[in-house]
């Protein structure tokens, strides 16, 4: 396992960095083909932000997240099959609880995508302001506008901070909510499974096995929900990158 884990991490890192390089080259080459009118309407700093930070955000979504999805899918399907073989009634009861967790993931994911896009936009604004001021230092100093530029950059940085904190509020609430729902589901399994044992339709040993498989499924659903939110955040960065490629 250690050997294969090393191979996995190495090749995922290689693929991730290769994707970043290829995507940046593609975006940069495309920018070189655009007209002067396009650049007249855009700030250089914002374009640089899309070329650097937005592409980097996509890296994890296209590599480690994909590997996690594959492994969790195998775990989820395997546990589900074994649970159906043990007791289909209890399995259906567990599956009835799944939409609650999935629904929470969809709601939070939609909000995260919007906030992530807002954070990237604000960060691009900060980069654009810094690029404008630093590339025109002679003009700034000639008109003694240093305090104005510092204040303007500080206000933009503060807006970026506020957007980031709004994103962190949703992130912070999502993890505990999913954990609460997962453990509530395990409590429900104990309640329903106990009734099955008392009715003679399930043995105590099978109930213990159910709990183990239930924990596997709960962990998989939690991982899927977490990955979904990460992919939603990456979707915001992807939209900004592919807007340039579609130009």
* pLDDT one-digit tens code per residue, 87-110: 788 788 777 777 777 777 777 777
User: Reduced to 3 states, what is the DSSP secondary structure of residue 95?
Assistant: helix
The C-alpha atoms of residue 123 and residue 117 are separated, in whole angstroms, by 10
More confidently predicted of 110 and 169: 169
pTM: 0.57
Given CA atoms 193, 85, 68, 110 in this order, what sign does their dihedral have? negative
Neighbours of 43 (CB within 10 A): 16
**Per residue in 110-163, pLDDT tens?**
777 778 778 877 887 888 888 888 888 888 888 888 999 899 889 988 988 998
> How open is the CA angle 216-99-74, to the nearest 5 degrees?
35
**Per residue in 220-244, pLDDT tens?**
777 776 677 677 777 777 888 888 8
- Sequence-distant (≥ 6) Cβ neighbours of residue 52 within 8 angstroms: 24
Give exposure, 128-163, as e/b (b: 16+ Cβ within 10 Å): bbbbbbeeeeeebeeeeeeeebeeebeebbebbeeb
Contact 221, 102 (CB under 8 A): yes
**Per residue in 171-216, pLDDT tens?**
788 778 877 887 787 788 888 888 888 888 888 888 888 888 877 8
Mean pLDDT of 57-74: 77
User: Reduced to 3 states, what is the DSSP secondary structure of residue 205?
Assistant: helix
């Amino acid at each position: 396992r250690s050997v294969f884990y090393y191979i996995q991490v190495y090749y995922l890192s290689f693929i991730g960095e290769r994707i970043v390089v290829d995507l940046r080259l593609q975006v940069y080459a495309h920018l070189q083909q655009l007209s002067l009118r396009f650049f007249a309407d855009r700030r250089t700093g914002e374009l640089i932000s899309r070329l650097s930070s937005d592409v980097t955000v996509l890296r994890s979504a296209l590599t480690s997240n994909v590997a996690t999805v594959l492994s969790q899918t195998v775990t989820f399907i395997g546990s589900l099959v074994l649970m159906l073989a043990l007791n289909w009634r209890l399995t259906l009861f567990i599956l009835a609880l799944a939409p609650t967790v999935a629904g929470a993931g969809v709601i939070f994911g939609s909000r995260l995508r919007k906030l992530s896009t807002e954070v990237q936009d604000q960060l691009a604004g900060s980069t654009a302001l810094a690029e404008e001021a630093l590339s025109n230092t002679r003009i700034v100093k000639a008109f003694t506008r240093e305090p104005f530029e510092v204040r303007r950059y500080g206000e933009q940085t503060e807006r970026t901070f506020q957007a980031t904190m709004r994103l962190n509020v949703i992130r912070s609430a999502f993890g505990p909510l999913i954990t609460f729902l997962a453990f509530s589901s395990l409590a429900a399994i104990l309640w329903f499974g106990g009734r099955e044992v008392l009715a003679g339709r399930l043995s105590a040993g099978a109930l213990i096995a159910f709990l183990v498989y239930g924990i596997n499924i709960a962990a998989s659903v939690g991982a899927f929900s977490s990955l979904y939110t990460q992919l939603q955040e990456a979707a915001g960065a992807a939209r900004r990158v592919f807007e340039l490629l579609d130009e």
